[in-house]
Amino acid sequence: EAAVESGSARTELDTQEYVERLEARLGKSREMMRVVLNKAKSDPKVVALAEGTDEKMIRAAYQLEEQGIARPVLIGREERIQRTAQRLGLEFEPSIADPRNGDWEHYADRLYELRQRKGLTRSEAGELIRRDSNYFASVMVEEGDADAMLTGLTHHYPSALRPPLQVIGTAEDADYAAGVYLLTFRNRVIFAADTTVNLDPTSEVLAEITKHTAELARSFNVEPTAALLSYSNFGSVDNEGTRKPREAVRMLHDDPAVDFPVDGEMQADTAVVEDILEGTYDFSELDDPANVLVFPNLEAGNIGYKLLQRLGGAEAIGPMLVGMAKPVHVLQRGDEVKDIVNLAGVAVVDAQNE
Ligand code: ACO
């Protein structure tokens, strides 16, 4: 009986501890998002929601408008959007851009202008504008009729990403886009990159991703400390794979614009465990555990963040696309309304900084 009693006491304690941990973690991610959403509310921007007929997008548009986080434009068939909004009982007058109502020939002209030397004909441009809302939203942003765009909920990630890459392209100081997840734990936050775009980045690309991810961390009021990850610690294994992040670190150390601590290549535990950094690797540039983790390739990045989210219990916000000329975020299929609202907030803050 005693054993049963102590067992149930322990279970209760475990449950209580679990709830406390959960609350602390959610508290951290809510706190991070509160900073961003409050910034967004100070000057809400126009965000094009490419999948405007999707129920979750309509719900998100309602919340964004209600809370003053963004001025959403739903792209899609007007009657369908209105009907769905009514069925959902959402009382608002959504702003809608219907690609099929004939007002958008100038978008087709613009798309043709941008892509005619990439093999696109004028009639194909017209078709894309009418039928693929990712092209429509991309041109809308490129033309300045919207400040940012969100897509991805109903598309495969690469097919949602390709139109903005082709039409909006990268920022002046960037050649590559990359996908970043913000992972919040009880007492720390991690920005993980690249988790969604570049299959096998070179050293130059890794260096660029590191800088853009550090910038993103600052937009969340987090001072970046970056680690380039590998299965090797500072040359303990020397081959083509481990040389890539090592070379990227050399580039970053030589770059006068880099004003945050960065080091590597290093193993993931070296990057996040203070005792290892202070002990065996006390020569490292990192005085604190890293909060920007740059993975050596897409397999590592994508697998790594998902393990942290599912087994490490992190709350994940993202993927946030960095390096683009205008704010674009490609959601994952199955993302929830809160993910759309959060990413729209991030996009608005980005647009404010343009
Ligand atoms: N950064 C910026 N621009 C790029 C990049 C990049 N990393 N890669 C391609 N582009 C540009 C190209 O320059 C090109 O522009 P252009 O036509 O004006 O010259 C345009 O994008 C299209 O390039 P393609 O070479 O035709 O496109 P590709 O077929 O290589 O597709 C893509 C690019 C979609 C990014 C591809 O690399 C890819 O599929 N990446 C992996 C995506 C993925 O599966 N992610 C993981 C799962 S998603 C998840 O978990 C959320």
pLDDT band at 2 (very low <50, low <70, confident <90, very high): very low
Contacts of 291 (CB under 8 A, 6+ apart): 188, 189, 190, 191, 217, 222, 224, 225, 226
Specify the length of the chain in residues: 354
Q: Which atom belonging to ligand 1 lies closest to the Cα atom of 165? A: 21
pTM of the model as a whole = 0.90
Mutate which of 162, 206, 305 to test ligand 1's pocket (most atoms within 8 Å of Cβ)? 162
134-180 per-position pLDDT tens digit: 999 999 999 999 999 999 999 899 999 999 999 999 999 999 999 99
The Cα diameter of the chain in Å comes to 81
295-307 per-position pLDDT tens digit: 999 999 999 999 9
Mean pLDDT of 315-322: 92
Angle, CA 131 vertex, CA 128 and CA 132 arms, to 5°: 65
pLDDT of 236 reads: 95
User: Do residues 272 and 290 lie in contact, with contact meaning Cβ atoms separated by under 8 Å?
Assistant: yes
Mean pLDDT of 175-189: 92
Of all protein residues, the one whose alpha carbon is nearest to atom 47 of ligand 1 is: 196
118 C-beta closer than 6 A to ligand 1: yes
| Of 254, 274, 266, the residue nearest 294 (C-alpha) | 266
Mean pLDDT of 66-95: 96
d(Cα 58, Cα 71) in Å, to the nearest integer?
A: 13
176 C-beta closer than 6 A to ligand 1: yes
Mean pLDDT of 270-294: 96
